[in-house]
Amino acid sequence: MNWTNIRWVGLLGGVLLFGCSDSGNDGAGGSAGTAGAGGTAGAGGSAGAGGVGGSDGAFGVINVDFMSSVMPMFGDDVYVGDDGVLSSPGGTYWNPADPFTSVNDADDELGAPTPVDLVVNSAGLIFIGAAQNELQDSGFINQSDEPSVGFDWRDLRSDGVYNLAFYVYAEAALEASTSFDLTHAGGTTSLGPNEEPTWALPGEAGKDYILLEDASPFEISTGVYGFRIDNINVDGNGAILGVQLKQTQ
């Protein structure tokens, strides 16, 4: 695989925002009983209790493909497939994230909306490569020495538990591999670097993807829970090509 013809273009940005639920209404009181002959009327029934408010429930895997969809000269299309390491059979939908267009809804792998946001905190650049599939052919790269370059998963359940997968780039000939930090409720975990990918999907752990299991989100801001990914290869050699998020509890 020849990755020596590499370009970096454009700023990557995108915010996904939505969703919460309301409590139910109180039920109506029961009807009064009919008076018997020479007797008194029965008392009215008690009002029914209000319904319990809905909560953010479990959702399917959320997939994001970092890509340059606004630059068709690079021939980059959003990935479609259920062969990610966290994918379910038939879960083929991937949310596109490109340098210029915000993603307004994060759909799950079946195309259903979720209460989850993907927020770019400090923009990187789009990495353009030459992989044989649309997931591994472009990604999020940091060519600066700025550790804040990265993105968040936000609006997760405060008591949720999640698995996260990161599809990453490496090539021995270019002395390139990918490392980054992931902040969660337990602190910050440094992940990577990875070895030369197989360029198959889902590929192999530590080569095509890096997997972190059973992580709990931290409070990013008041009432907002999620994960922060930053400190992406401050030497500028590595790239995150796509990401998956799966709620397990």
Residues 67 and 186: their CA atoms lie apart, in Å, by 31
Q: Which of 6-20, 96-110, 199-213, 235-249 has the highest mean pLDDT?
A: 199-213
- Arithmetic mean of pLDDT, 37-42: 46
- Nearest-5° Cα angle at 125, 187 to 138: 95
Query: Distance between CA atoms of 216 and 206, rounded to whole angstroms?
Result: 22
Q: Does the pLDDT value for residue 242 go beyond 60?
A: yes
DSSP one-letter code for 17? -
For residue 198, pLDDT over 80 is answered with: yes
Least reliable range by pLDDT among 11-25, 98-112, 120-134, 153-167:
11-25
Confidence check: pLDDT of 9 > 60:
no
Q: How much is the average pLDDT of 62-71?
A: 77
Residue 60: what pLDDT? 86
How much is the pLDDT for 95? 92
DSSP 165-203: EEEE--BGGGTB---EEEEETTEEEEE--------SSS-
Summarize the confidence of residues 145-169 as an average pLDDT: 93
d(CA 136, CA 65): 9
The pLDDT of residue 79: 92
3-state secondary structure of 42: coil
Query: What is the rounded distance in angstroms from the CA atom of residue 90 to the CA atom of residue 113?
Result: 16
Q: Over 80: is that where the pLDDT of 127 sits?
A: no
What is the full DSSP assignment across 93-153?
--EEE-SS------B-TTS-B-S-EEEEEE--EEEE---SSSSTTEEEE--SS-TT-EEEE
Quick one: pLDDT band at residue 14, thresholds 50, 70, 90? very low
Q: Residue 102's pLDDT band (boundaries 50, 70, 90)?
A: low
pLDDT of residue 187: 97
Q: Kindly tell me if the per-residue pLDDT of 72 is higher than 60.
A: no
Confidence band for 11, pLDDT divided at 50, 70 and 90? very low
pLDDT at 92 (0 to 100): 97
Single-letter amino acid, residue 241: L
Which pTM was predicted? 0.77
Q: How far is CA 75 from the centre of its chain?
A: 24
Question: What pLDDT score does 27 carry?
Answer: 44
Average pLDDT, the chain: 77
Section 122-148 average pLDDT: 81
Residue 3 has pLDDT above 70, yes or no: no
3-class DSSP state of 162: strand
What is the arithmetic mean of pLDDT over 210-218? 98
pLDDT of residue 166: 97
Q: What is the pLDDT of residues 180-190, one digit of tens each?
A: 999 999 999 99
